[in-house]
Structure 1
Amino acid sequence: MALPNIYTEVNFKNQPFSSGITSDSSSCTASDSSSVLPKKTSIHKSTPGFPMLLLALLIFFLLLAIFFSIALIILFQMYSGLLEGKNTLNQLNHAKLHCVKNHSSVEDKVWSCCPMNWKPFGSHCYFTSRDSASWSESEEKCSLRGAHLLVIHSQEEQDFITNTLNPRAAYYVGLSDPEGHGQWQWVDQTPYDQNATSWHSDEPSGSTGLCVVLNYHPHLKGWGWSVVPCDGDHRLVCEMRQLYL
């Protein structure tokens, strides 16, 4: 009769077989331990000067942009000024000049010229307008022609002018007293000389807003100066210095 299989709990222990085996096991363990260590990685540090160089470039381009902006603004202002000056010159330029041989003491100049339709006398040119306007508007009309309202320097000059005027009209001259305080002043800053005036016998009169016209009084002494309100409409006489070529 066969015997039944009987199983019992058996515990097995690893026994070292030999010193050689132990040595191999230690060697294996050491090798495994070394394989578990993290690999050494190389860290690349950024160059310390790179951010500073980038910052310097940014500042440079910023300053360059500011410089160009300022330059453009200056150029625009210069261009605007040139345009304005050109427009002014276009207004002041005269298409035609009438010139005569110069016999004055002006050096290196052969011809003395006045614009066409202007009359020369002495070193000045004169233009008489038939338009009527206030005193300030009349001065502006003369200014646009490169001139100013008539400034009378002598009796001879006034006689020359009055010979070209209509005795039935009054003509603004460049003399005024805006405040009415007796402080007469010429538009070209010529000093007012009380002893070199041509007032009519009953002038000057008035108190405020005083301007002067050159007019004719048949019962007085002919042509002379009268005071009128500055906002009245009268004809005008413009004066400018002759051009020398």
Structure 2
Amino acid sequence: SISHITVNNNQLQSSYETLSKNHSKLQDELQKLKDKIEGKRCPDGWKRFGCSCYFRPNEKRTWYESRTDCWNKGADLVVINNKDENKFVSELNNMNGESWIGLQTESTGRNRYEWKWVDGSPLTETFRAAGQPAATWDWYAAFSNQQGQWRQRNSGYKHYICEK
């Protein structure tokens, strides 16, 4: 009986030491993640959503001027990846209507254009407004309105949203 208790005690001691080491490793990992998050704070005037920071300047520019301004801020025009992000972007528009987003058409040859995001990714989910074509025969850029619907234009001045 005493040998059985000694074996159980040794097993418990070994389990405790293993748990203690794992706890210490988890604490270290947690601290690393906290440090990483601290380093990802959004600059003043930017708003956080998910892992990104967003900025909507008050001025209006062309799509290309907007993209250049975002680059100058260490960002690019927003790439919208899902319904929740699209809702967030539309809420940024509530004050002033419409904003350029990082979606444009690129030539695929033979006067045919395909929608692509500024990060090079293809368009997989769309929130196109009714009547907006899926493919085009010219260069266009997309903008988002207050309802989160995407429309297209090939010129003009609009607000814009940067993401980093």
TM-score, scaled to structure 1: 0.48
Structure 1 counterpart of 2:116? 185
Is 2:105 the partner of 1:171? no
CA RMSD of aligned residues (A): 2.4
1:107-143 CA-to-partner distances (Å, cap 9, x unmatched) read 8525131101100011000001121111111000000
Q: Quote the residue 2:140 is aligned against.
A: 210
Aligned residues: 130
Q: Pick closer, same or farther for the CA change 1:165–1:183 going to 2, 3 Å.
A: same
CA drift at 1:182: 3.6
1:199 counterpart residue number: 128
Q: Which has the higher contact order (CA 8 A, sep 6+)?
A: 2
- Say if 2:160 is the partner of 1:233: no
Contact 1:167–1:215 (CA<8 Å) still a contact in 2?
A: no
The superposition leaves residues 176-198 of structure 1 with CA deviations (integer Å, 9 ceiling, x where unpaired) of 014462411111122321xx110
The alignment-based identity, stated in percent, is: 29
| Residues 117, 208 of structure 1: alpha-carbon distance in 2 compared, 3 angstrom cutoff | same
Tell whether the 8 Å contact from 1:129 to 1:235 is kept in structure 2 after alignment: yes
Which runs of 5 or more structure 2 residues have no equivalent in the other structure? Answer: 1-29
Which of the pair has more CA radius of gyration? 1
Name structure 1 gaps, 5 residues minimum. Answer: 1-102, 217-221, 241-245
8 Å CA contact 1:178–1:211 kept in 2: the answer is: no
Aligned equivalents of 2:68, 2:122: Cα separation in 1: 21
TM-score by length of 2: 0.70
- Output aligned runs, 1:68-217, within 5 Å: 106=33, 109=36, 111=38, 112-166=40-94, 169-179=97-107, 181-193=112-124, 196-204=125-133, 207-216=137-146
Whether the aligned pair in 1 keeps the contact of 2:75 and 2:162 (CA below 8 Å) is yes
2:149 maps to which of 220, 224, 228: 224
